[in-house]
Amino acid sequence: MTPVQSSLTLKPSKHQKSKQAANGIENNIIHGVESLIRAMLKKHRTPFMLIKRSVLEKQYKRFRKCLPQVAPYYAIKANPDQGVIKTFINLGASFDVASGAEMKYVLSLGASPSKIIFANTIKSPEDIVFARRRKVRLMTFDNEPELYKLSKDYPGAHVLVRIKVANSGSVVELSLKFGADAEHAFFLLRKAKALGMVPMGVSFHVGSQATNVENYLQALEISAGIFNEAKESGLPLKILDIGGGFPIQHFDNEVGINFERMAGQIRQQLKTLFDNNVKFIAEPGRFLVGPAGILVTQVMGRTFRNNKNYYYLNDGIYADFSGMVFDHCRYEFKTLRRGQKFLSTLAGPTCDSFDTLSSNEEIPELYVGDVVYVKNIGAYSCASAVANFNGFPPAKIVMV
């Protein structure tokens, strides 16, 4: 074989080059994450939750770029850490709250009342009064009795009727508990006006971790029909709230998650179906904060059970892995230790056997003190953790 032939034979294809570049980027990301974890281990005891401010900013700008006509109202239930909220305040975000306590909290951190939506369709009289006193005017409802409460405690409130829409393919269905039938929406808006409220528009939610863009497109068509009916009846509407549910990747190589493509279809539908004077808002939570979180735990005990290595971590289902129950979420477990992988079980530290995280993880053999970490866990994890069950505290949140 001549030297020329040899060099041609060894030249990588475009596909190989692309794959090598992707692997290189992935390895650099892994190295960066693990270097950060090692540095933080010198400063903090585990478990701790790292929240990367740069990722919060990246996700917020990504949302604004992909849906430029939609104002994001961060759903603080996803992660109410004050560092997270202050970051979004500085970025100019608005906020979705579900109670008077959440409202008071974001206001105390500097959020403007005009940038808050009280997006719980069922509100206590006390919380309605609190909203009135703090001049938080925009809120949702989905039933007639709620309007009578508002007419008594907050005449003049600006209201959006929340409608029930399809949640097919979403990990968490939200139309089981909330939403008026679409055919009743205009009647409810007209009733709101008669009782002294200001009917502003329509709200919907297609469910959490929604990967089926058809749910959004169908909901937009239904909402446009309500807008047209209201306009023809002399009750023009001004705001459409498209809710949250925008999906993220929880695993590095997860397929079927493409926010950019989904946003492009939503963007086109908004342009096609609605007048230019309609204001669009959304309630992203997981999308903005989920990718920013890295949970760092350590092995506190090990044994051999059921022909498998069995590891007990110092965080579990009752703390920052609570999203596995309340959010129906699955996470990708990673280790700092390298080596041959074995089928293993990971469990939390409590005395409850329910506190088992996974019984089929392929990981290297671990020892007491070894680190197990999870990325993309910034949403609905620490937010739904139980404080000190069995005496084990949730992870400390560290902004980096």
Write out the catalytic residue numbers.
Answer: 351
pLDDT of residue 209: 81
pLDDT exceeds cutoff 90 at 74: yes
For residues 164 and 23, the model is more confident at 164
pLDDT exceeds cutoff 70 at 232: yes
The string over 125-162, giving b where at least 16 C-beta atoms fall within 10 Å of a residue's C-beta and e elsewhere, is eebbebbbeeebbbbbbbbeebbeebbebbeebbbbbb
Residues 360-380, mean pLDDT to the nearest whole number: 97
Domains of the chain, by residue range, sit at 34-50+291-399, 53-290
Q: Which residues contact 281 (CB under 8 A, 6 or more apart)?
A: 70, 71, 72, 73, 94, 117, 239, 240, 241, 242
What pLDDT, in 10s, does the model give residues 211-227?
A: 789 999 999 999 999 99
pLDDT of residue 170: 46
> What is the spatial distance between Cα 294 and Cα 50, in angstroms, rounded to a whole number?
5
pLDDT of residue 8: 44
CATH class of 34-50+291-399: mainly beta
pLDDT exceeds cutoff 70 at 177: no
What pLDDT, in 10s, does the model give residues 131-164?
A: 999 999 999 999 999 999 999 999 999 999 999 9
Q: Which residue type does 381 have?
A: S
CATH (residue range 53-290) = 3.20.20.10
pLDDT of residue 23: 53
pLDDT exceeds cutoff 80 at 345: yes
Domains 34-50+291-399 and 53-290 share a fold: no
Is this model's pTM higher than 0.75 or not?
A: yes
pLDDT exceeds cutoff 80 at 54: yes
